[in-house]
Amino acid sequence: MRYNRLIIIFTFILHVLASAQQNDGYGINLPKFYKSKLHFGFTIAGNRSDFVINPKPNSQFPDTVIKEKGTVTRYQIRSIFSKPAPGFAIGIVSDLRIHEYIRLRFTPSISFGSRTIEYTLANRTNDSSKIFQKRVESAFLFFPIETKIQSKRLGNFSAYIIGGGGYQLDLAARKKAAGVTSGPNQLDDNVKLKRDDFYYSSGAGVDFYLQYFKLGLEAKLQIGTRNLLRPENSIFSNSIDKVRSRMVVFTITFEG
């Protein structure tokens, strides 16, 4: 629902900006835009991030003991899944023309977001269950290098596809590594992640040539390649085999 609102806002911004622009007498804005070898700009983005989780087989799930009102019950994890959450990012654009319709782009950015891992625990007879949520907050630095393949310009519009990869650094990883451990029944333990990751990305977008700048709208998927799980002796970490990052990004770019 939040991203439906974002799309509506993006569309409204586009309509207002396009209506406000005046083209030259021939109806073409920025006719020599791609004659320049190098362009710069900035980006604002909304994202939706979660994890790709590979749990261990059920037979390897560890047990934990929970004591409530004097009664001791042994619980085992029954399911694990990731709940996505929204975030935002800002960045800069460096765009290099290497062919008439091919661009090399370096778009470093800082991104803020959070993800939640939800665990369902149940006793051996499945007549008692509990749900625990482990929230993972992150502040990322992204350093992507991507290739943008653009269509032939049609008036003040063109479409493109984009893909590549990059390096990401989680600035909050040190804080997570120093989180709570070995709490009562291990239920207060955090899920700890590694700081560094490499990812690949792919997406598509459209460019609109306005009087003074080029406005771009882009949707992209980023998938991490490393197992980010930092092994810990807790029921929440020991039940997971691999954790990889995943993010859907909606970006507005402004280039002059």
Start-end of H helices in the chain = 2-20, 173-177, 235-238
A 10 A CB-CB count for 70 gives 5
- Which helix (H) or strand (E) element contains residue 160? strand 157-170
DSSP state of 122: E
Return d(Cα 221, Cα 148) in angstroms, integer.
15
Question: For residues 110 and 139, is the Cβ–Cβ distance under 8 A?
Answer: yes
**pLDDT in single tens digits along all 256 residues of the chain:** 545 555 555 555 555 444 444 444 457 888 888 778 898 999 999 999 999 999 887 656 666 766 666 666 777 788 888 989 999 999 999 999 998 889 999 999 999 988 899 988 887 777 778 888 888 888 999 999 999 999 988 889 999 999 999 999 998 876 554 444 444 445 556 788 899 999 999 999 999 999 889 999 999 999 999 999 988 777 788 888 899 999 999 999 999 8
A 10 A CB-CB count for 202 gives 14
DSSP state of 172: T
Return d(Cα 37, Cα 123) in angstroms, integer.
65
Instruction: Report the amino acid identity of residue 40.
Output: F
Question: For residues 115 and 82, is the Cβ–Cβ distance under 8 A?
Answer: yes
